[in-house]
Every structure is written in structure tokens, then in C-alpha cells.
Amino acid sequence: MNMLAFLLSSILLLGVVPAARADGIRARAHNSGFPQSHTTYNGISAASDGNIYYVLSTTSIDVGAKMYRFDPTTNKIEYTRDLTEACGEKDLKAIPHGKSHVSFVEAGGKLYFATHVGYYSVVGGMERIGKPLPGYKPYPGGHILAYDLRTRRFEDHGIARQGEGIISMTMDPARMRVYGLTWPSAAFFRYDVARREYRDFGKVSADGEDGSGPTYRAVCRSLVVSPDDGSVYFTTADGDIFRYRFADDTLRKVEGDNLRKDYLGAYEPWGVGHLAYNWRQAFWHAATRSIYAVHGHSGYLFRFDPRQERVEVLDRITSEPSRRSGMFDQFGYGYLGFALGPDGQTIHYLTGGRFPGAPKGQENLHLVTWHIPTARYNDRGPIFLEDGQRPALVNSIAVAKDGAVYAIATFSEKGQSRADLISFPGPLAKKR
């Protein structure tokens, strides 16, 4: 790419100065005032009011995850609420809601999202819901919450499945239905907002991440709604695609195609450290009436056409260093920072890649774009904070209407590590 042209374009976003390095993108770190914050997965979205809403996670048994509102016009951050308090469990003295593992979905002037557990026990090398310390109660279960953009009040819509978190969630705003997968057992559920009615379809992928050995399956992290008919799609570690039909309230496996593709690699479905054949992140593309998704470990982009029941592998959208070396994504699960830009045509993907002389474990975050109409891949370069740090553990993204990109990253400040909001100009940043 023409890096000079890119650097010049980066100053077009008000309040962002040119990159400090000639080989990358300069990002700004924001301080939300939450020193206990921990790695966040999804948990960020741009809303219709122009603000960025995000959740900072925690692994504490005493402190829940916290939700914030960032106003790009003033660069001010407003704390909204602790998620455990929003669930009405402030005085329960149970394991708190330490995460929101899902993006917000806007419907009827409200942001719908779900809570998840952040306090774990490690048993046999596997993460499990944490065992409560003496004097504490077990985790009650993940809630569906709604946040009213006008009144700034929360509504609690109850627990999806007792004792389990909600690791994946989406919503059909037209039909006011919420859908999700629980953790660790991979139970699929739907929730009717008007009727305040849950239906639990049970486990959909062996024992999910509650299993071990042959009964273990990594749980899908992304569900997609087709606005055409209200169908909902998700995958399993075995490579199957499942479809929930709104018309008759049924859940069935798609028979026409699957994700067991040589391009994506060869996996034992019960393997750990990756999501096997699951897609990592996916979204609905209205213009083509199809789902675009990325496979986490291999970094391959593909399209699933629900009408044809056909999967088409398109391109490898890992960073340029990864493409040159042929290696898998640096993070074995792949990256969740995958979203469509405000033009409805440009995929934005935050992905890693090793660099020469990098210390073991050092991440090298890049912004990759892929233009759907022309199939044009572009690695926009590595991302650096203003002090030269490389943002780490980035598994979230929100692309605002003006083209600015937001994410939650881990970095150090005054010798302390924390996760917090970062922002930088995207390639679609509007001219002023």
C-alpha cells in the first residue's frame, strides 16, 4: 500500500494526530478509571446516539464488570453501572457478573446485551466457573440486560440458564427476539422480549466446554440473524452449521454444507486451544443476503449463503506478516475484532502477526480491511499507542459512522497493566 497516502488520510479524523512511527497506525489510549479491568471479548458497540458503549471485564470475586459510555465529540467517558448491580444482585454476595462477552444490539431505543462469569477455577488445565470461597454463593447465571439510551436506565430480563454464563448472543430487532449460547455447556436459547419468555433448546455441541476428552467442544462465539426470515445461524466445533427457524421455533442442522474445509486446517473437534471448525466471528451482509465470517485459527474469510446452503472460501485475511510466513493466527482462537464498516462494503479486522525479533508472546496488532465488491485485501499496518506500546489481547471492535475504530486493549501505564478503550482513525474516516 502507499503508506504516505495512508498517513496523510489518518489526520482527517478530528483530534487524531499523525502516527508517531512511519510503519503503523497511531492509537490513543483512554482511561476509564477501572484499574481492575481485565481482557475483554466483544463488549463494545457504536450506538445510534453517536456514542461508543463498552464493558470492561474483571476476574475478581468481589467486583463485577463495568459498563461505560464514550462521547467522541467531547472525548469524555461516563461510567454507567456495575453489571452485577444492574442484574439486581449487588447484595447477593455471589460470584459476580465479571464479563459481558457479547456486542450490544440496538432495538427500540435500547441496547440489549448479556452477562457472563469472569471468576474461574482451573481444573485439569481447563477453565471452569469458579468455586465460591467460604461465605460466597455460586454464580447465579447470566442475565439479558437492556440499557435505555434516553433514560440511561437498565432493565433486567432475567437468567437464561441457572448457573451458566452467556458467552454468545445476538438479537432480531424486528421480531424482538434474543438468542444465545450458554457457557460452559453450549445450550442454545431464545428469549421473546414482549412475552418475557425463555425457551431452552438444550445442549447443541456434546457437553460444550463443560466436557473433557471426547465430550469437550469449544462453544461458538458468534450467532447471526437473517433479517429476511428471522432465522439464526451458528456453528459447532465439529464444523456443522445450525439454523434456528423463527417460523416454527425449531433448531436443525444445515444439510447443504459445513465448515470441514481443508483450507481451515484439520482438527479433532474435542481439541483445546482453538475453536476447531467453528467460525470465530460473523455478521449478516444485507447487500448479498449472506453471512460473512472468519475462521479463527487459519484466518480465512468465507461467505455462507443461507438460500443455497453453500460455503465459499474467499481469502486469507490475517496480517501481512502471517500471510508471508504461512503461520496460523498468533492467538489460537483467532480474533473477534471483525466487523463491517459504515459503508456497508468494507470489512475491518484486527488481527495479530509476529514480527522480527519479537519476544515470545509479544503481539503485533494490525488493521486489515477487505472490500466486499472488489475482493480487495489491504493490511493497513501495525497499531501502536502514543508511547510506542503495541496493544495486546484485542478481541473487540466498533467502527463508528465517521470511520473511527474503537477496541478494548491491554497495555501498561505507570508500571500497571490494565484493559481499556483505544481509538484510532480507520480508512473510512470522513473528511472535514
Tell me the C-alpha distance between 29 and 44, whole Å: 15
Per-residue model confidence (pLDDT) at position 19: 35
C-beta of residue 380 within 8 angstroms of C-beta of residue 369 = yes
Q: Which amino acid is at 178?
A: V
SS3 5: helix
Q: Would the pLDDT of 13 be above 70? A: no
330: confidence class by pLDDT, cuts 50, 70, 90: confident
Q: Could you give the C-alpha distances from 130 to 126, 184, 305, 357, in angstroms and in order?
A: 11, 12, 40, 38
Contacts of residue 403, defined as CB under 8 A and 6 or more positions apart, other chains included, come to 13, 341, 342, 425, 426, 427, 428, 429, 430
How confident is the model over 177-217, as pLDDT tens digits?
999 999 999 999 999 999 999 999 999 999 999 999 999 99
What is the mean predicted confidence (pLDDT) over 252-268?
Answer: 97
Region 332-342 average pLDDT:
95
pLDDT tens digits, 407-419: 999 999 888 999 9
Residue 101 · residue 41 · CB < 8 Å: yes
Q: What is the pTM of this model?
A: 0.93
Burial 241-267 (b: 16+ CB within 10 A, else e): bbbbebeeeebeebeebbbebeebeeb
pLDDT surpasses 50 at 4: no
> What HEC string does 153-207 produce?
CEEEEEECCCCCEEEEEEEECCCCEEEEEEECCCEEEEEECCCCEEEEEEECECE
CA 248 to chain centre: 29
Which residue in 162, 52, 91 sits closest to 399, CA to CA? 52
The greatest distance separating any two alpha carbons of the chain, rounded to the nearest whole angstrom, comes to 60
- Partnered with residue 71 across adjacent β-strands are 76
Tell me how many degrees the CA angle 229-186-205 measures, rounded to the nearest 5: 85
Provide the pLDDT confidence category of residue 2 given band limits of 50, 70 and 90. very low
The torsion angles phi and psi of 6, rounded to 5 degrees, stand at -65, -45
Measuring CA to CA, which residue among 199, 116, 107, 127 is closest to residue 163? 116
**How would you classify residue 125: left for phi > 0, otherwise alpha for psi between -120 and 50, otherwise beta?**
left
The closest alpha carbon to 254, from 200, 291, 301, belongs to: 291
pLDDT the model gives residue 66: 98
pLDDT of residue 72: 97
Q: How far apart are CA 177 and CA 68, in angstroms?
A: 25
What pLDDT sits at residue 353?
82
- To the nearest whole number, what is the mean pLDDT of the chain? 92
Asked whether the CA dihedral 209, 212, 213, 215 is positive or negative, the reply is negative
pLDDT tens for 94-153 read: 999 999 999 999 999 999 999 999 999 988 878 899 999 999 999 999 999 999 999 999
Q: Which amino acid is at 298?
A: S
